[in-house]
């Protein structure tokens, strides 16, 4: 339900999008999940649904509204929705500690599931129980990043786990060719989900690489790669 603006009313535990511009602060009260999707360019998300209250604040916690005059000077408009789009897209999404913990718990559960499905104890050739993996995460003091996809964290989590838990992953070696128009923006995802074995930039700006990924992440890897390149990518499983 969208909240109405009440001047002077104290607001606690809010998820905010915040932007500093021209020495001023501008904030909007947002649905955290929708705001993050909107910021990433998800066109299916409506700005009306992202905003919990259709107001621009200078201090949301205290209920201080942003100056209309200042907004016109800095944004060229006082249209709330237009300014809110800019704040979300160019500013920072500030999440409550409770919501960040929810994200960490959900991603931790997903990571444990991936490791349980794909990792084995090299001594017994059997999967580790999920409770043992969770215990090892605590023992190794592994930190889960609430802002990163679970799949993107698996490699670094497994590396940390190996200090306290013998574990082996089946690996897939994949060759890929990414057209020039998609090569720069796909780099982050590819490098975060895989181990780069070799790469070559072509004269036309395209990028070829051979990467290694956990076998259980193959489907997720291809899905993300196809989404980022709109299917304009060549891949081949080497081994």
Q: Which residues, given as ranges, of the chain have pLDDT below 70? A: 1-12, 216
Encode pLDDT of 139-164 as tens digits: 999 999 988 888 888 888 999 999 99
Query: Is the domain covering 16-94 a CATH 3.30.1250.10 domain?
Result: yes
Q: What homologous superfamily is domain 97-168 in, according to CATH? A: SBDS protein C-terminal domain, subdomain 1 (1.10.10.900)
CATH 3.30.70.240 fits 171-237, yes or no: yes
Identical fold at 16-94 and 97-168?
no
Residue 118: phi, psi to the nearest 5? -115, -20
Report the predicted TM-score, pTM, of the whole model to 2 decimal places: 0.61
- Residues 129-140: tens digit of each pLDDT: 999 999 999 999
Domain definitions of the chain by residue range? 16-94, 97-168, 171-237
Spatial distance between the Cα atoms of 52 and 87, rounded to a whole number of angstroms:
14
Q: Token digits for 53?
A: 């209250």
Of the candidates 211, 207, 157, 217, the one whose C-alpha atom is nearest the C-alpha of residue 186 is 207
């Amino acid at each position: 339900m969208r909240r109405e603006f009440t001047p002077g009313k104290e607001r606690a535990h809010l998820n905010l999008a915040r932007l500093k511009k021209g020495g001023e602060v501008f904030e909007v009260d947002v649905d955290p999940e929708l705001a993050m999707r909107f910021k990433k360019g998800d066109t299916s998300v409506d700005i009306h649904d992202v905003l919990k209250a259709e107001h621009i604040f200078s201090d949301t916690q205290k209920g201080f509204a942003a100056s209309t005059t200042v907004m016109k000077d800095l944004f060229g408009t006082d249209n709330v929705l237009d300014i809110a789009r800019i704040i979300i897209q160019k500013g920072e999404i500030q999440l409550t500690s409770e919501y960040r913990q929810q994200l960490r718990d959900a991603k931790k559960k997903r990571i444990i599931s991936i490791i349980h499905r794909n990792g084995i104890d090299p001594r017994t050739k059997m999967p580790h129980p999920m409770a043992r993996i969770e215990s090892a995460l605590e023992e190794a003091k592994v930190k889960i990043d609430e802002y990163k996809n679970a799949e993107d964290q698996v490699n670094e989590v497994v590396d940390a786990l190996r200090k306290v838990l013998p574990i082996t992953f089946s690996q897939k070696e994949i060759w890929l060719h990414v057209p020039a128009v998609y090569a720069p923006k796909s780099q982050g995802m590819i490098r975060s989900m895989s181990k780069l074995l070799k790469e070559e930039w072509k004269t036309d700006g395209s990028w070829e690489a051979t990467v290694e990924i956990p076998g259980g992440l193959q489907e997720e890897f291809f899905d993300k790669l196809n989404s980022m390149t709109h299917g304009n990518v060549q891949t081949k499983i080497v081994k």
